[in-house]
Each structure stands twice: as structure tokens, then as C-alpha cells.
Structure 1
């Protein structure tokens, strides 16, 4: 098999070369997100990390947001594939599954950061084709997630399991920024009177998932 590596700055022409370049750009974006907020990362910064120009990056992604959308898909797929081993094996307590869900996401801050920026940042400055492709992948991955939920919580029907994935995303988008405050907010909430305003992501997200699951199970029982 031909070597798909190509020298720096040389345009990749074969499909496997383009895919390799795209993956390297995603790797660089992932590294940068571990060091700084997404809002501070530009295409120029990505190019600097790779030792190429901004123009070079644009050959493979239409915008910074396009890079992040693709990285979100990649990170979410890796997380879902890991859940088979990270979630309790059936039979198991539903609340334990929900807390394991929260804990597994808390251990993946880059994924959570990207997911939390989806409606306000990532779905802007990109074409309809890019958003459509993202959402189709998201639909496929959340369907897989719903199937995993149904395996662990058989009392929850397939439709409600998928609904739970929708509520879970909306909850994460709102909760993640509150659980990762700015230095100014950290200083302000150091006041003992404001202790109740501090948010610990894994604990609160676990409670949100458990409460949502309980509501869906109760509604399903009433509708039988």
C-alpha cells in the first residue's frame, strides 16, 4: 500500500491523503482545546500548531466551526464506544447507569466543551451542507446511545430512550458553562454565603439524568 504521508504545504490530492490531513487538523484542534477555551482558537492558531498557513487549513475545513463540529462527532463516537465498558453491565440499577453516564462525560472535558458550544457557536459560520452532515452523524450516534440505554434500562421504551438523549444534550449545554466558571466568578463565589451557587458537573448532571429518567418511566407507566 502506498504511503499516504505528504510533505508539509504540499496539497493532498488522493482521498486518503486528504483524510490524513483532516485528521491531523482535528488532532491539533483537540490538543489546543485541552490548553485554552474554544473561543480563543482561530484557524490561524490551528495553522501555527501544524506549521502551515491558515489557507492550508481552509482547504480541508470551511471554518473554525467546521473543524469543531467534525471534532465533536469524533469525540462523541469515541465516548459512545467506550460506554460499553464504562456503564454497569445489565441487570443494573437505572440510577447507577445515569450517574455512570454523568461521570464518563465529566472525564471528557473537551467533548463537553464542544457540545456545550453547539447551538451558540458551532452551528454558526458554517454552510447548510456542513450542518446537515453534522446532524445526520449526531442522529446516528444518539440512536446508538439510545440503544445502549435501552439495554441497561429495559423498562424504558426505544422512543423514550431516544428522547432522553435529546434532553441530556440540552441539559449539558446549559450546565457545562455553570460548572466551569471564569476566574472572576470563582473569586466571587469563594464567599461562604454563595456556596450554594457552585456547581459540580458530575453530581448535578447525574441528578438531572436520574430525574429525567424517572419522569419518562412514570409517564410511560401512566400511558400503558
Structure 2
């Protein structure tokens, strides 16, 4: 059997993750499986197992890729040759978060199950990228605010758990809205950007 080049493996993994992401836009996590994903790729179901052992590993790869993209956005904020006040920083981070809908959706809905059903080495790879996100977020605060190291740590421990609640609040289902209306529970029509900005504005 021919040995595949790393570039070829990476391309094929990307194609599989792209298919999974497309499906996740219209289907629930439980409805997606490797057979369904294979129908959106040029691979058969058995071929996909050469690159991912479980569907959770595909989602973990997708989440890792999403964090890498967010890291690039945070690096861009850090690299700006301009001073930003706290409000401008909150807006910049909110903008970067607005572009990571898939990251927020996976984190809110299925993260625990995905981590539990992925190989340890892939989980470590994801955690490394996540650690980079935490450090880059901290670097943004350090560069553009005058808050203490202790305060930056407090903001970080508030922001990252808060992130996991952004998607459900921004994209409630019709069923959830109907139930809230039934009990007269007020709810806002709010975007990812607005939720992120308003939170950072409060804590910075």
C-alpha cells in the first residue's frame, strides 16, 4: 500500500471536515455520522476511517481548525500598530468571535461528548491550540488595557465559560422560543457580536 504524503493526508482531512461543517449547518450532531459525511465527500465510509476513527474526531478536528482561525484573528488584533481603548478592544474581539459561529456552536452543544470520544493525541493537539487562544486573549488585554495580571486572569476565567453560552442565546430554536413565550419569559434577539461586545464592555 502506498504511503501518503502529509500534504495529501491534510487535504483529505480538510475535505472530510468541510463536509462535516456543511452538514452541521442544517443537521443536529446526533443525526450526523460517518456514513452521512461520506456522501458529502469523494471518500467511501471505510476510507474515512483512515483519517478519523470516530465522527467525534472529525468534529474535534473542525473545532481545532476553528480555534486556529480565531488565533489568527487575535494575532491580527495584537499586531495592529495603533492604540485601542477598552471599547475598541471589546469591539475587535467581538468581531473576531462573530466570525467563529461553528466554534461557538460545537463548544456549546457537543464539546464534552466530542472530547470523550476522541483519541488522546488528538485531544492534546486541540488543547494546545486552545491554550494558544487563552494566551493570545490575555496578550490582547495586556497590550490594550491597564488591568493587573490578577484582573486579566479573572476576565479570562469569566470570558471562556461565557463563550460556551453565546451560541444558544444567539440562535434559540423555534421550540425554545415558543416555550419561553408560553411562560412569558422575556428573551432578546441578540447577535454573537452583541453578546460578546456587551460582556467585554462590562468586565474590561
Q: Specify if TM > 0.5.
A: yes
Separation in structure 1 between the aligned mates of residue 18 and residue 53 of structure 2, nearest angstrom: 17
Corresponding position of 2:187: 197
Pairwise CA distance, 1:139: 0.9
Tell me which residue corresponds to 1:120.
112
Per-residue displacement from partner, 1:144-202 (whole Å, max 9, x unpaired)?
A: 3322332222x1345654653443221011232233212112234456943x2335243
Q: Which has the higher contact order (CA 8 A, sep 6+)?
A: 2
Q: CA RMSD in A?
A: 3.0
Asked whether the equivalents of residues 103 and 202 of structure 1 are also in contact (C-alpha less than 8 Å), the reply is yes
Secondary structure of 1:49 counterpart: coil
Aligned residues: 202
CA distance in 2, matches of 1:14, 1:88: 37
CA distance in structure 2 between the partners assigned to 1:26 and 1:12 by the alignment: 22
User: Computing the radius of gyration over CA atoms, which structure comes out larger, 1 or 2?
Assistant: 1
Indicate whether 1:43 and 2:34 are aligned.
yes
Q: Which residue of 2 aligns with 1:138?
A: 130
Structure 2 unmatched ranges of 5 or more: none
Contact 1:88-1:96 within 8 A present in 2 as well: no
Which residue matches 2:68? Answer: 77
Alpha-carbon shift at residue 12 of structure 1 (Å): 6.2
Q: 2:19·2:37 contact (CA, 8 Å) conserved in 1?
A: yes
Q: Structure 1 unaligned segments of length 5 or more: list them.
A: 1-9, 214-224
Is the alpha carbon distance of 1:124 and 1:14 closer, same or farther for their aligned partners in structure 2, counting shifts above 3 Å? Answer: same
Alignment correspondent of 2:96: 104
Change beyond 3 A, Cα 1:192–1:203: farther
Instruction: Give the match for residue 174 of structure 1.
Output: 165
Query: Could you say if the C-alpha distance between residues 118 and 101 of structure 1 is closer, same or farther in structure 2, counting changes exceeding 3 Å?
Result: farther
